[in-house]
């Protein structure tokens, strides 16, 4: 079955407290390549993982464990936004999910999840999701971001302060300007920039700027 992202831009599903699927939308069927929603009903998260997850980089049950951990938080009454990268039947699926408690008779009885799919992902979109404190990113998504080179700041192991310095440097700021903007001493800024040069393996500030722009770091 071919996945048509033009027709399957989103999917919805409901799981009970035991991580067993109660129902899913047609979009879910298209992505996960089941015949009908009826096939999914009664399946546990681990069974779904065994059937659909094909990543060579992280185990199917480990991914399922991540999803179950999110559901545990939802069953406590929390709503979550989740940035997710999955290899489903060897196709990279990028989604922003929203998980909320599923309520019947004023009681939380499971998890309702809705996911919006993205046909493609670039470094800037990844950076936007990763920098948003309200969005959860699981370990399997981080792994896939690293494998596909979509999160340069993780690739170079840059700290937030180092990224702040790079961002201002790209805008044409001097070390003094960066120090003033960030409320730091020039000596501290120079220390951060030396660390950045070491991590990026460059020698000059202009080379930091060139690599940061070319590799989508900022």
What gap in Å lies between CA 86 and CA 104, rounded to an integer? 30
- CA atoms of 109 and 160, how far apart (whole Å): 39
- Helix H or strand E segment including 108: strand 107-118
pLDDT at 8: 52
In the chain, the percentage of residues whose pLDDT exceeds 70 is: 95
- As given in the structure block, the two tokens for residue 63 are 């991914």
pLDDT of residue 155: 73
Which segment of 38-42, 75-79, 145-149, 172-176 scores lowest on mean pLDDT?
A: 145-149
* pTM of the predicted structure, to 2 decimals: 0.72
pLDDT tens-place string over residues 193-202? 999 999 999 9
Q: How confident is the model at residue 4, as a pLDDT?
A: 40
pLDDT at residue 128, rounded to an integer: 82
pLDDT tens-digit map of 125-176: 888 888 788 999 998 998 899 888 888 777 788 888 998 999 999 999 999 9
Average pLDDT, the chain: 91
pLDDT of amino acid 133: 82
Question: Is the pLDDT reported for residue 75 higher than 90?
Answer: yes
Q: How far apart are CA 32 and CA 29, in angstroms?
A: 5
Domains delineated in the chain: 10-152 (3.30.450.20), 156-214 (1.10.10.10)
Stretch 93-115: mean pLDDT, rounded?
Answer: 96
Element (H, E) at 107: strand 107-118
- Per-residue pLDDT averaged across 170-189, rounded? 95
**What mean pLDDT comes out for the span 69-84?**
97
Span 15-27, pLDDT tens digits? 999 999 999 999 9
Q: Would you place residue 86 in the very low, low, confident or very high pLDDT band (cuts 50, 70, 90)?
A: very high
Per-residue b/e over 3-24, b at no fewer than 16 CB within 10 Å? Answer: bebeebeebebbbeeebebbeb
Quote the pLDDT of residue 2: 36
How far is the C-alpha of 20 from the C-alpha of 166, rounded, in Å?
46
Q: What is the pLDDT of residue 207?
A: 95
| Cβ partners under 8 Å of residue 115, min gap 6 | 10, 11, 12, 84, 95, 96, 97, 98
What percent of the chain has pLDDT above 90? 75
Contact between 81 and 100 (Cβ < 8 Å): no
């Amino acid at each position: 079955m071919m996945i048509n992202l033009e027709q399957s831009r989103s999917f919805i599903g409901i799981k009970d407290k035991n991580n067993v699927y109660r129902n899913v939308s047609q979009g879910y069927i298209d992505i996960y390549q089941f015949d009908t929603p009826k096939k999914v009903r009664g399946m546990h998260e681990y069974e779904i993982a065994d059937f659909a997850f094909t990543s060579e980089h992280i185990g199917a049950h480990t991914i399922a464990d991540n999803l179950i951990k999110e559901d545990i938080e939802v069953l406590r009454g929390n709503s979550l936004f989740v940035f997710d990268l999955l290899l489903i039947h060897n196709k990279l699926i990028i989604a922003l999910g929203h998980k909320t408690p599923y309520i019947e008779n004023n009681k939380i009885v499971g998890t309702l999840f809705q996911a919006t799919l993205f046909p493609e992902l670039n470094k800037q979109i990844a950076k936007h999701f990763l920098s948003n404190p309200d969005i959860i990113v699981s370990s399997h998504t981080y792994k896939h971001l690293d494998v596909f080179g979509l999160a340069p700041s993780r690739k170079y192991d840059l700290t937030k302060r180092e990224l702040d310095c790079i961002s201002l440097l790209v805008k044409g700021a001097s070390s003094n300007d960066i120090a003033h903007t960030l409320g730091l001493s020039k000596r501290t800024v120079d220390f951060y920039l030396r660390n950045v040069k070491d991590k990026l393996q460059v020698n000059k500030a202009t080379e930091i700027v060139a690599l940061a722009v070319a590799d989508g770091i900022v």
